[in-house]
A and B are shown apart, each in its own frame.
Chain A
Amino acid sequence: MTATAEPEVGKARLRKEDARLITGQTRWTDNLQLTGMLHMAVLRSPVAHARITNIDCARATAMPGVAIVLTGEDLAAEQGSLPCAWPITEDMKAPPAPALAVDQVNFAGEAVALVIADNAYHAADALAAIDVDYEELPVVLDLQEALLDNDLVHPDLGTNKSATWVYDSADAGSGTNVEDEIASAEVVLERTFRQQRLIPSFMEPRSVVVDPSAGMFTVWSATQIPHILRWMLSAVSGIAEHKIRVIAPDVGGGFGGKLQVTPEELLCLLVARRMGRPVKWTESRTESMLSAHHGRDQLQKITLSARRDGTVTGLKVELLADMGAYLRLVTPGIPILGAFMFNAIYKFAAYRFVCTNVFTNKVPTDAYRGAGRPEATFAIERMMDELAAELGRDPMELRQQNWIKHDEFPFNTVAGLTYDSGNYEAATARAMELFDYEALREEQARRRSSGDPVQIGIGISTYTEMCGLAPSRVLGALRYAAGGWETASIRMLPTGKVEVITGTSPHGQGHETVWSQIVADRLGVPFDDVEVLHGDTASSHKGMDSYGSRSLAVGGTALVHAADKVLAKARRLAAHMMECDEADVEFATGSFSVRGTGTVRTLGDVVLAAHVAHDLPEGMEPGMDADATFDPDNFSFPHGTHLCATEVDTQTGMVKIRLYVAVDDVGTVVNPLIVDGQVHGGLAQGIAQALYEEAIHDEMGTLTTATLADYLVPCAADLPAFITTRTTTPATSNPLGVKGVGEAGTIASTPAVVNSVLDAVRHMGVRDIEMPLSPERVWTALQGGVADASTPAAGGLGSIDSQGGQS
């Protein structure tokens, strides 16, 4: 065994999983072909709210290849209700959530009937032969109208309000009373922002295969959460947990969109049980957009009080959050995750957060990259710019006046968190230097005075986020149904190779590479000698999976602890083998030696000795494996300074990003290449919210942006060359000093872009433009009007019909 010469942590390694992922030489769920496998197709409701008065399956059942057609009534006795694991208040209202609608549909896209056939073509063909009679009900779409309870999504609940959740710094003892601060303030600003509805748009559509043979139910799913899925499938179906094995093979992206226990996963399980044969379901893109959970969709009323000198004093946040038609796995908790972040990096004396969760006849919302925190960051960073404009102050200088200074850490925030570390000064200084802030301000002044049709603006976002979800006791206090720990195992194989089992479930992040780097350093083994196993409950029986920028900070720490356990045992055995006192054993670059002598045993020697077990110390078990579970004491708090310069064409309303600088402090960096990739992708998604993406429903509740021609996901050609770099302030809450990076770019970038556009046109009388900032909305705002909130994008597949000639 050769020792690694230079440290692996910090090395910009290419990802070991990429060759197979990029070439497709791997196992995606839809690639699986099992003997005798049936295919499931789902008939979805075309209407948003209706009673189902009749379903006639006779014609469909007689179609070629069809094994069975099933309705909600057929499954009513066994399908139970899909789980919601986050009852945020004791009195939260939650409607039953059948996987297959029984007598009522509550959103367009809800599953109404299933065709099970011998192949996917026959299943798809038979869908059209199912006749469903709907008796339409009034459709509830608008959040504020829904609150009036004139029409109800779920009449049995008696209201469209699911729950109201409150945090108040005066009650919590973390600050003063916000109403007092507002009443006595020299400056009070009130703004309302709309977080539009977004569609997670993972690259690999969802896919499920369930095999009921061999006395087990083996479930393959394109999921982020195989462990939680196994637990929940068991709870809902009544199938004993040890008779369910869940495998998340390679999974092509999630962004929170696959943090779900989906109707289709449960339905495949029930159908496989009923038919006694394997069943596969794979969705199309449009099906995904119509039925997989959406993200964001909040109305934010923000009141900020300050002194004339710019010192912020109070912050009051009143949210309406759109749940859609049902509460999925963590739907109600998503806006609550933002509750702790509205105060951000600033020192408010008082803070109050009130969120009302509201039902509408739309696809349920749930986690989407950032989950609650992008909404919070957007609101506070927009407000800081509003305050700067109100006071005639430079927006960066105003932030600096109010942020937590480096020497004030650890800092107890008004929202009740303890920020362990941070250095906002350093990140900002670096960003300002790379951006050339002063030169851009000069150019801006020139263009303003010459009345240039293209105006430029500068947008700032000095964000922080809470990552490393999460301390289990905190989750318990928030009434979340599970813990936030993570687990890892190390298996030392007799040839010296290493198997790592992680409870995290990568779906594109590169855990195999990063986990290998960490283990290579800790154990002094070559990077290529480490194999990382994940996503299979048979090899990894426990874990809390991947979301919330938690995998490295929590799962990586568990891995370090497991490696330390391996070394501790190996050291004891090495001492025994070298006939010395354990205190005299030194370990470096993969070898044990006796201090002051030439006696050496490599880790491989020791592992083999443990494996053959011919001569072990008294009481030592054979083998050199170790498990560790880590429950963090605190969250981690990445932060950074993002600066965006946009050019706004005032004649067309078109926004172009000229320069984007992102300086992130994500703590210790294990692999800079992967961190850059996460930041780039995150920026793209955050910029997309600012400029491009929006799920739009018509007045009947039909999603009109159900193709990628209508829902504008930007590609590389639409984005600038990002300038990214880092400052490093290690987290104190874990031995690696890591904080998490999966969501940083998304959280930071949206307000940077919007602030920048408003900075470009504020002198022309524009104070706000609703997201996404389409050219039409920007132009309309410049004409002194407000663009219709739901003007769809031009063109698109939605406009194509079947007429016309050749194509």
Chain B
Amino acid sequence: MIPAEFKYLFPSTVDEAVRMLAEEGEDAKIIAGGQSLVPVLRMRLAAPTALIDIGGLTELTGVRDDGDSLLIGAMTTHYEVQRDHLIQDHALLLRLVTDTVADPQVRHRGTFGGSLCHADPAGDLLAPALALDAVMIIAGPSGRREVPASDFFVDYFETALAPDEILIDVRVPKYNGWGAHYEKLNRVAQAWSIVAVAAAVQVRDGSIAAARVGLTNVGSGPVRATEVESALVGQPVSAISEAALLASSGDSYKDNLARVLTDRALTAAVAG
């Protein structure tokens, strides 16, 4: 299928990209890895007047150690996230989630920041970003600002990003020594999750010191299972199954999955 005509721009710095975005107006789009935008363009579900390709902004690629947290460049590909030692050591959950994203071709092209900005509630990376208290670092015409994940995801395919802003980095606190697991139910390998649960657990002296639980595709955005998290604090590992029942209260299939998969994710995180 053939996209509608658009102007193609290729900035070499973040500032230039921000300037281009301002100049081109509301009908311009940033294109990162293109794994969601290109199909949309080809099906003519979107017809932006200009595409600003930030694929040349090497400053947005890679993972840096920033003391108590990691800074993940928005243009870091899923493939790079999977193989990054800092992520493996300090944010294991992100690696485990990223392992399940689509297929190798998509993981080589698609980017961490692009997935977050696309904000598809079925996308895998939103729930762990929310659960791990990630912070979005955003560049715009009036400088930089930081938005916590809890404020960043607004609705279906909608974030706190203004039309003239670009996500440049994601700050993720270090979770050293936490167990982690992503429990994903999807029908075929390349299909989106029906429901998935991202869990990270800190166990000290046989009891749970802290837990983080994020749910994928149960609402208009990622959902943090705060009741589950707080119910687990100070509890023995054996309390997981009961706490997991707090992940959802309804009778629907997805409600059931939220509870079952939360149980499984936490259990595996502790065991892992």
List residues of A whose CB falls within 8 A of some B CB.
120-121, 124-125, 128, 284-287, 651-654, 691-692, 707, 709, 712-715, 717-718, 774-776, 779-780, 793-797, 799-807
Name which residue of chain B comes closest to A772, CB basis. Answer: B187
* Residue from B37, B166, B187 in contact with A712 in the complex, judged by beta carbons closer than 8 Å: B187
Contact B32 A806 (CB under 8 A): yes
Name which residue of chain B comes closest to A653, CB basis. Answer: B253
The 9 A-B pairs of least Cβ separation, nearest first, read A795-B192, A807-B37, A802-B46, A795-B122, A806-B30, A284-B1, A805-B117, A804-B157, A807-B36
Give B225-266 as 1s and 0s: 1 = Cβ < 8 Å from A's Cβ atoms: 000000000000000000000000000010011001100000
Contact B188 A714 (CB under 8 A): yes
Inter-chain contacts of A651 with B (CB < 8 A): 256, 260
Contact B45 A796 (CB under 8 A): no
Is B128 an interface residue when CB atoms closer than 8 A count as contact?
Answer: no
List residues of B whose CB falls within 8 A of some A CB.
1-2, 4-5, 29-40, 42-47, 54, 113-114, 117-120, 122, 156-159, 161, 165-167, 185-195, 217, 253, 256-257, 260-261
* A-B contacts, 14 listed (Cβ < 8 Å): A121-B5, A715-B189, A718-B189, A793-B187, A797-B40, A797-B43, A799-B156, A800-B39, A800-B40, A805-B159, A806-B37, A807-B30, A807-B114, A807-B117
Inter-chain contacts of A802 with B (CB < 8 A): 40, 45-47
Contact B188 A804 (CB under 8 A): no
Taken together as a complex, chains A and B put the C-alpha atoms of A652 and B195 apart, in Å, by 10
Taken together as a complex, chains A and B put the C-alpha atoms of A287 and B44 apart, in Å, by 13
* Residue from A128, A714, A800, A806 in contact with B29 in the complex, judged by beta carbons closer than 8 Å: A806
Name which residue of chain B comes closest to A283, CB basis. Answer: B1
A805-B159, A805-B161, A807-B32 known; A796 vs B118 contact (CB < 8 Å): no
The main secondary structure of chain B at its interface with chain A is loop
Taken together as a complex, chains A and B put the C-alpha atoms of A805 and B138 apart, in Å, by 12
Taken together as a complex, chains A and B put the C-alpha atoms of A121 and B5 apart, in Å, by 9
CB distance from B153 to the nearest CB of A (A): 11
Contact B31 A806 (CB under 8 A): yes
Inter-chain contacts of B257 with A (CB < 8 A): 652
Inter-chain contacts of B31 with A (CB < 8 A): 806-807
CB distance from A94 to the nearest CB of B (A): 33
Contact A776 B2 (CB under 8 A): no
Contact A124 B193 (CB under 8 A): no
Contact A774 B157 (CB under 8 A): no
Contact A804 B158 (CB under 8 A): yes
A805-B119, A807-B117 known; A795 vs B37 contact (CB < 8 Å): no
Contact B45 A794 (CB under 8 A): no
Taken together as a complex, chains A and B put the C-alpha atoms of A795 and B45 apart, in Å, by 16
Inter-chain contacts of B1 with A (CB < 8 A): 124, 284-287
Contact A120 B2 (CB under 8 A): yes
Name which residue of chain B comes closest to A802, CB basis. Answer: B46
Contact B185 A125 (CB under 8 A): no
**Which of the listed residues A652, A714, A774 has the most CB atoms from chain B within 10 Å of its own CB?**
A652
* Residue from B2, B36, B113, B190 in contact with A124 in the complex, judged by beta carbons closer than 8 Å: B2
Contact A806 B188 (CB under 8 A): no
Contact A800 B191 (CB under 8 A): no
Inter-chain contacts of B2 with A (CB < 8 A): 120-121, 124-125
A803-B157, A806-B30, A806-B32 known; A775 vs B117 contact (CB < 8 Å): no
CB distance from A249 to the nearest CB of B (A): 23
Inter-chain contacts of B43 with A (CB < 8 A): 286, 707, 797
Taken together as a complex, chains A and B put the C-alpha atoms of A709 and B40 apart, in Å, by 12
Name which residue of chain B comes closest to A780, CB basis. Answer: B253
CB distance from B141 to the nearest CB of A (A): 15
* Residue from B34, B118, B185 in contact with A805 in the complex, judged by beta carbons closer than 8 Å: B118
Taken together as a complex, chains A and B put the C-alpha atoms of A713 and B188 apart, in Å, by 8
Taken together as a complex, chains A and B put the C-alpha atoms of A795 and B195 apart, in Å, by 10
Contact B253 A807 (CB under 8 A): no
Name which residue of chain A comes closest to B259, CB basis. Answer: A651
A652-B260, A715-B190, A806-B114 known; A801 vs B253 contact (CB < 8 Å): no
Contact A794 B161 (CB under 8 A): no
Contact A806 B167 (CB under 8 A): yes
Taken together as a complex, chains A and B put the C-alpha atoms of A781 and B261 apart, in Å, by 19
* Residue from B117, B194, B253, B261 in contact with A804 in the complex, judged by beta carbons closer than 8 Å: B117
Name which residue of chain A comes closest to B44, CB basis. Answer: A128
Taken together as a complex, chains A and B put the C-alpha atoms of A802 and B22 apart, in Å, by 19
Name which residue of chain B comes closest to A121, CB basis. Answer: B2
Name which residue of chain A comes closest to B190, CB basis. Answer: A715
Contact B45 A801 (CB under 8 A): yes
Taken together as a complex, chains A and B put the C-alpha atoms of A712 and B186 apart, in Å, by 11
Inter-chain contacts of B194 with A (CB < 8 A): 775-776, 794-795
CB distance from A509 to the nearest CB of B (A): 25
* Residue from B40, B45, B117, B256 in contact with A779 in the complex, judged by beta carbons closer than 8 Å: B256
Inter-chain contacts of A285 with B (CB < 8 A): 1
Inter-chain contacts of B119 with A (CB < 8 A): 804-805
Inter-chain contacts of A715 with B (CB < 8 A): 188-190
* Residue from A124, A652, A707, A794 in contact with B122 in the complex, judged by beta carbons closer than 8 Å: A794
Name which residue of chain B comes closest to A124, CB basis. Answer: B2
Taken together as a complex, chains A and B put the C-alpha atoms of A715 and B1 apart, in Å, by 23
A125-B5, A712-B191, A715-B189 known; A804 vs B159 contact (CB < 8 Å): yes
Contact B187 A797 (CB under 8 A): no
Inter-chain contacts of B114 with A (CB < 8 A): 806-807
Taken together as a complex, chains A and B put the C-alpha atoms of A673 and B199 apart, in Å, by 45
CB distance from B237 to the nearest CB of A (A): 19
CB distance from A793 to the nearest CB of B (A): 6
12 extra interchain contacts, Cβ-Cβ under 8 A, other than A125-B4, A801-B157? A652-B256, A709-B39, A715-B190, A717-B189, A775-B185, A795-B193, A797-B43, A805-B167, A806-B32, A806-B114, A806-B161, A806-B166
Inter-chain contacts of A804 with B (CB < 8 A): 117-119, 157-159
CB distance from B11 to the nearest CB of A (A): 13
* Residue from A284, A652, A654, A807 in contact with B40 in the complex, judged by beta carbons closer than 8 Å: A807
Taken together as a complex, chains A and B put the C-alpha atoms of A652 and B255 apart, in Å, by 11
CB distance from B40 to the nearest CB of A (A): 5
Taken together as a complex, chains A and B put the C-alpha atoms of A793 and B253 apart, in Å, by 13
Contact A794 B191 (CB under 8 A): yes
Contact B120 A800 (CB under 8 A): yes
CB distance from B47 to the nearest CB of A (A): 8
Inter-chain contacts of A120 with B (CB < 8 A): 2
Name which residue of chain B comes closest to A453, CB basis. Answer: B260
Contact B187 A774 (CB under 8 A): yes
A802-B46, A803-B157, A807-B40 known; A794 vs B217 contact (CB < 8 Å): yes
* Residue from B5, B167, B193, B256 in contact with A794 in the complex, judged by beta carbons closer than 8 Å: B193
CB distance from B20 to the nearest CB of A (A): 13
Name which residue of chain A comes closest to B110, CB basis. Answer: A807
